[in-house]
Amino acid sequence: MPIENHSLVNELPEFKEQIHELKLNDAHFRRLFEEYHFLTHEIENIEKEIVLASTLEEEEFKKRRLLLKDTLADMLRKAKDGQITEA
């Protein structure tokens, strides 16, 4: 069973305002955010044994989510510092 809440706002609460703003105004951020949310939901379902998956599949999902989190956190830091994030 999942021990923690891995929503992006819970993982990066200091960026709550930037998350909201970028979800509304940055299509690239929104797409990555949605993928992060999807992976988090899938991992939770695997951990709850609602969805069957191999340990390897679960680990690959977790690695992908971590990479997305790092990318999103970088985008959020830049937004907080006032740098442009859209490509």
pLDDT tens across 15-55, in order? 999 999 999 999 999 999 999 999 999 999 999 999 999 99
1 assigned to some structural domain: no
3 assigned to some structural domain: no
Q: How many structural domains compose the chain? A: 1
Across the range 4-21, mean pLDDT stands at 93
From the number of C-beta atoms within 10 Å of its C-beta (0-12, 13-18, 19+), residue 47 rates as middle
pTM metric for this prediction: 0.86
Task: Say if residue 1's pLDDT is above 50.
Answer: no
86 assigned to some structural domain: no
CA 42 to chain centre: 12
87 assigned to some structural domain: no
Distance CA 70, CA 47 (A): 22
DSSP 8-state code for residue 7: -
